[in-house]
A and B are shown apart, each in its own frame.
Chain A
Amino acid sequence: MTVPDHSPRPPDERDKLRAVWRAPRGWRFISAVNNNHIGVWYIGTGLLFFLLAGILALMMRAQLAVPDNDLLSQNLYNQVFTMHGTIMMFLFAVPVVEAVAVFLLPNMLSARDLPFPRLGAFAFWAYAVGGIIFFLSLFFDLAPDGGWFMYPPLASFEFSPGINNDFWLLGIGFIEISAIAGAIEILVGVLLTRAPGMTLAKLPIYAWAMLVFAAIVIFAFPVLIVGTLLLELERSFHWPFFIADKGGDPLLWQHLFWFFGHPEVYIIFLPAAGMVSMIVPTMAQHPLIGYRIVVLSLVATAFFSFGLWVHHMFTTGIPNLSLSFFSAASMAVAIPSGLQVFAWIATFAAGRLKVTVPSLFVLGFLFIFVLGGLSGVMVAMVPFNWQIHDSYFVVAHFHYVLVGGMVFPLFAAIYYWMPMASHHALSERLGRWFFWLFFVGFNLTFFPMHITGLLGMPRRIHSYPAGMGWEWLNMLSTIGAFVIAAGILVFLFDLLRKFRPYQQPNRGNIWGAGSLEWLPSEDYATRSIPRVQDLYPLWRDSDLADDVDKGRYYLPGTATGNRETIVTSPVNARPLYVLRMPGPSWLSLFAAVFTAAFFMLLTGKLVTLAAIAGVAAVIFMLLWAWDTDWPPLGPVRVGGGLELPTYMTGAMSHSRWAMVILLIVLGVMAATLVFSYLFLWTVSPDIWPARGTEVVPAGTRLAAILLYLIAMALVMAAGRMLPRAARPGRALSLVGIAVGIAALVAAWLVEFRGYLASGLGPVDDAHGAILYAAISFQGLLVMTGLIMGGYLLLRLLAGKLDAQRRVAFDNTALFWYFTGATGIGLAAFFHLFPWLAG
């Protein structure tokens, strides 16, 4: 039997599907976890932060409108510009592109939801609650004021006492956790939950962009997390990573920050480019020209983006030749971006462009982004960069790139996908008003800043004297900013009038688009999951929408009585199994609230309360995980003659994929600590022990390594001894895991005691600080391994873990192997390095 299958479907099939996917009613609505709901709230919260940071921008522009203005005090101005940058980058740009993906991706891939709905809900709530508390710090004179990149020594304890900058370090550190959770969800979603037949060569460009985006997040964000942890340790406990007197180096912070910070630009831009690559073909009614070239340019940009970070540090005294490498890479990255621009222009030229509001925003994006790219090549030139560094020229450049490269495409996307998200489309007439106000206002605000910068106005000054020739340019910029604000007001009015998200049916495919998100859908996504044969399935098969909606493709109802979607292989999209997904839950919401509380209470130095919140967060996470390792069921029929298993262990378990990605994140963190160690050794060899000196005796290191090996062997043995059905063997696996936990903890304690006994303290010098940072990081891994091991013991006792139902075990085992390997690797490295290099 093949699909579409025209045999009649049971009459109550759709109602059952609807019932399973129905969102909770009334106030319980906020316990929803489905991507269609979370996605809308997530995008809404992102836009809220855009408005708030926009208001801060207006305050700055009002302050700078005339010389010698005293509307904002210097102290408040510092907080306002720091918060504007921080919120726009961390609370608007990154979350909102993830939010759009949470909403769009499952629909575009024809999955019923993302693979970990509760993780999606957790990421959203952690971000929303944490972000709002972070913003409120402004009202208590507690907002960070060290600039969005927080350079020490200014941002460290000596020159910024008080907790303002701790808000940044802990607040942002934890919002990164939310971003990483989102990236894991997106990676596994794109790789494993595509419609059957949607091979990598037929993957919509937006999904490619999000795949690449998530991969950059996985490698870039952990570096910043380590950086923020180090700076927080310096601020709170005076561990001198960045203090030159004690062998530290403020440049280490800049390296860590910008190793994240430059890819961040592409983290924001690539999703936007992905949106544009979906909008352009529809508006031109022509397939995207150069699909492969666009894929290649996305992948190339991702790699090149990691070779650019020092171009933010051209004036720090790094050798000229080193600067040239980054200058060259900064020019090289223009090639893939240029290729994409040509692909879009060629598509417009090959088809017939419909001038709609989304098209206008795309054209506006092309104009502004290309200008930003050109000034980008200018600032990539080292000698020019030295002249305009920290001037308004740079402010103009990055606003052209970021607003042009991300905000314009975002509004194009909002207008474009609105008919799929809402009962009404947004107004074309008001949309044009909005576009022109925004476009003109933007150029009026930011174009003059190029000149203000060339005339010497530094960024971040709260006032300037008259007679510098900057007055009229600043006035123009301020007028432009308020024109943008007028445009945004028009948009908000339109949104208020037309946006009706949960009213069925949605407005539908008014643009004549070809991708799957335009299939008829409700909370359960599409009625059935189609087999994909083309990049533009709706253009290829005019009956597809009807066939899908009549249930003629896969999984037309609920096969297991739960929420579910089909997992397909990552390259060829061959159906593998039916993934059962959890429904609405308070657990992920509470876990998120307590995680936010933990970080915010820690900022306020309320350590006991923070600890209580932290424990509560862990308990809620474990409770949430408790239900998600389902009891295995037999195979089920999903239509089209296809029968699929409902439980998967081993290499193709979606849960395994998520765990491996998490381990990559942790691996990058460990590598960052090793890099920091080597960097500090390069700049301060004098504080390193003499060649051949042991900080911790070799015997102690060997004992720790042996204990890690024992823990790894025990978890391996416990895996073999998991009970077949219920009883037999349970005792043995229990003992294996329990002794394994003890070995893991003992390994860490042995090494840690070795450090304590060495006489070297973390506040003595940068060498001591980085060693203690590494052993603390290892301690966090061991503690997590301990909690996971304890969780396994509980599952064994509860009869929820056996040789078949073992995903929870496999993930824990993988984590233990990683913890052991990291412990052994770090111990060996820190022991051997002084022997070799001294």
Chain B
Amino acid sequence: MGDARAFLRHALVISAGPLIWFAHFTIVYVWTALLCARGVGMDLIPAGILAATVVAAAALIVFAILSFRAMRRAGRNGGGNGRFLFAVAAALAALSLIGILWNGLPAVLVSACS
């Protein structure tokens, strides 16, 4: 059981950043599509997107910092898989951060339902 768990843990740590990106992406897309389709609460769209973006960005920054620290800790303990895992996880979180900022930006630039 330990080996399967270790794998799941690795998969989750590596995917955490992109998963947050994906969750953010899904939320802002569904939020916009739903309100535009129904024609209700359209004024709330930009605020909702900004809120989701702030929350996702905060989560990614925290996760990236934790991963970076874990990477340095693993490095001091001889490197190996741990260092590799957390280095990739931290970098992916950073990349995902760029992704969600990019995705949140249209909320202040583009009118919602036109």
Residues of A participating in the B interface, judged by any CB pair closer than 8 Å: 191, 199-201, 292-293, 295-296, 299-300, 302-304, 306-307, 318-322, 324-325, 327-329, 331-332, 335-336, 569-572, 574, 576, 650-652, 682-683, 685
B residues 34-81 in Cβ contact with A at 8 Å: 34, 36-38, 45, 80-81
Closest residue of B by beta carbon distance from A327: B106
Distance, CA A650 to CA B1, complexed state (A) = 8
16 A-B pairs whose Cβ atoms sit less than 8 Å apart in the complex: A200-B10, A200-B81, A200-B85, A292-B84, A292-B88, A303-B18, A303-B19, A319-B113, A322-B32, A322-B33, A329-B102, A332-B99, A571-B7, A572-B81, A682-B37, A682-B38
Taking a contact as CB atoms under 8 Å apart, the answer to whether B102 and A296 are in contact is no
Distance, CA A328 to CA B103, complexed state (A) = 6
Neighbouring B residues of A574 by C-beta, 8 Å: 3
Distance, CA A328 to CA B22, complexed state (A) = 13
Chain A min CB distance to B52 (Å): 11
Taking a contact as CB atoms under 8 Å apart, the answer to whether B3 and A325 are in contact is no
Taking a contact as CB atoms under 8 Å apart, the answer to whether A329 and B103 are in contact is yes
Taking a contact as CB atoms under 8 Å apart, the answer to whether A299 and B92 are in contact is yes
Chain B min CB distance to A757 (Å): 32
Chain B min CB distance to A672 (Å): 14
Taking a contact as CB atoms under 8 Å apart, the answer to whether B32 and A321 are in contact is yes
Taking a contact as CB atoms under 8 Å apart, the answer to whether A321 and B107 are in contact is yes
The verdict on B12 contacting chain A, using a C-beta distance below 8 Å, is no
Closest residue of B by beta carbon distance from A304: B99
Chain A min CB distance to B32 (Å): 5
Neighbouring B residues of A292 by C-beta, 8 Å: 84, 87-88, 91
Closest residue of A by beta carbon distance from B87: A292
Distance, CA A683 to CA B33, complexed state (A) = 10
Chain A min CB distance to B56 (Å): 13
Closest residue of A by beta carbon distance from B82: A201
User: Given A321-B113, A324-B109, A683-B37, A652 and B3 touching (CB < 8 A)?
Assistant: yes
Chain B min CB distance to A241 (Å): 18
Taking a contact as CB atoms under 8 Å apart, the answer to whether B105 and A328 are in contact is yes
Taking a contact as CB atoms under 8 Å apart, the answer to whether A199 and B99 are in contact is no
Taking a contact as CB atoms under 8 Å apart, the answer to whether A320 and B110 are in contact is yes
Neighbouring B residues of A201 by C-beta, 8 Å: 80-81, 83-85
Question: Shortest 4 CB-CB distances between A and B: which pairs?
Answer: A324-B106, A303-B18, A201-B84, A569-B3
Neighbouring A residues of B105 by C-beta, 8 Å: 328
Taking a contact as CB atoms under 8 Å apart, the answer to whether A319 and B84 are in contact is no
Residues of B participating in the A interface, judged by any CB pair closer than 8 Å: 1, 3-4, 6-7, 10, 14-15, 18-19, 21-22, 25, 28-29, 32-34, 36-38, 45, 80-81, 83-85, 87-88, 91-92, 95-96, 98-99, 102-103, 105-107, 109-114
Neighbouring A residues of B10 by C-beta, 8 Å: 200, 570-571
Neighbouring A residues of B83 by C-beta, 8 Å: 201
Distance, CA A200 to CA B33, complexed state (A) = 40
Kindly identify which residue among A199, A325, A336 contacts B95, using a CB–CB cutoff of 8 Å: A336
User: Given A299-B88, A324-B110, A307 and B33 touching (CB < 8 A)?
Assistant: no
Q: List 12 additional A-B contacts (Cβ < 8 Å) besides A292-B87, A303-B15, A569-B6.
A: A295-B88, A299-B18, A306-B22, A307-B21, A307-B25, A320-B113, A325-B103, A328-B103, A332-B103, A569-B3, A571-B81, A572-B81
User: Given A319-B113, A319-B114, A321-B113, A328 and B3 touching (CB < 8 A)?
Assistant: no
Distance, CA A652 to CA B10, complexed state (A) = 16
Neighbouring B residues of A683 by C-beta, 8 Å: 37
Neighbouring A residues of B80 by C-beta, 8 Å: 199, 201
Kindly identify which residue among B29, B95, B114 contacts A335, using a CB–CB cutoff of 8 Å: B95
Chain A min CB distance to B35 (Å): 9
Chain B min CB distance to A258 (Å): 14
Distance, CA A740 to CA B76, complexed state (A) = 55
Chain B min CB distance to A188 (Å): 12
Taking a contact as CB atoms under 8 Å apart, the answer to whether B99 and A320 are in contact is no
Distance, CA A296 to CA B95, complexed state (A) = 9
Taking a contact as CB atoms under 8 Å apart, the answer to whether B36 and A335 are in contact is no
User: Given A201-B81, A652-B4, A321 and B112 touching (CB < 8 A)?
Assistant: yes
Closest residue of B by beta carbon distance from A303: B18
Neighbouring A residues of B34 by C-beta, 8 Å: 682
Distance, CA A106 to CA B113, complexed state (A) = 52
Closest residue of A by beta carbon distance from B35: A319
Distance, CA A295 to CA B92, complexed state (A) = 10
Distance, CA A652 to CA B33, complexed state (A) = 43
Kindly identify which residue among B29, B81, B87, B96 contacts A322, using a CB–CB cutoff of 8 Å: B29
Distance, CA A333 to CA B85, complexed state (A) = 22
Distance, CA A571 to CA B14, complexed state (A) = 12
Taking a contact as CB atoms under 8 Å apart, the answer to whether B98 and A335 are in contact is yes
Neighbouring B residues of A325 by C-beta, 8 Å: 25, 28-29, 32, 103, 106
Most buried by B among A324, A325, A569: A325
Taking a contact as CB atoms under 8 Å apart, the answer to whether B95 and A319 are in contact is no
Neighbouring A residues of B29 by C-beta, 8 Å: 322, 325
Taking a contact as CB atoms under 8 Å apart, the answer to whether A296 and B3 are in contact is no
Distance, CA A253 to CA B28, complexed state (A) = 22
Neighbouring B residues of A303 by C-beta, 8 Å: 15, 18-19, 21-22, 96
Distance, CA A300 to CA B99, complexed state (A) = 10
Chain B min CB distance to A59 (Å): 41
Chain A min CB distance to B72 (Å): 15
Distance, CA A277 to CA B14, complexed state (A) = 21
Chain A min CB distance to B111 (Å): 7
Neighbouring A residues of B106 by C-beta, 8 Å: 321, 324-325, 327-328
Chain B min CB distance to A136 (Å): 41
Taking a contact as CB atoms under 8 Å apart, the answer to whether A651 and B111 are in contact is no
Distance, CA A572 to CA B18, complexed state (A) = 24
Neighbouring B residues of A328 by C-beta, 8 Å: 99, 102-103, 105-106
Chain B min CB distance to A804 (Å): 18
Chain B min CB distance to A661 (Å): 13
Distance, CA A306 to CA B80, complexed state (A) = 31
Closest residue of A by beta carbon distance from B5: A651
Distance, CA A576 to CA B106, complexed state (A) = 51
Distance, CA A580 to CA B36, complexed state (A) = 57
Distance, CA A683 to CA B38, complexed state (A) = 8
Taking a contact as CB atoms under 8 Å apart, the answer to whether B3 and A651 are in contact is yes
Neighbouring B residues of A335 by C-beta, 8 Å: 95, 98
Neighbouring A residues of B22 by C-beta, 8 Å: 303, 306-307
Taking a contact as CB atoms under 8 Å apart, the answer to whether B28 and A296 are in contact is no
Distance, CA A515 to CA B34, complexed state (A) = 51
Distance, CA A329 to CA B104, complexed state (A) = 11
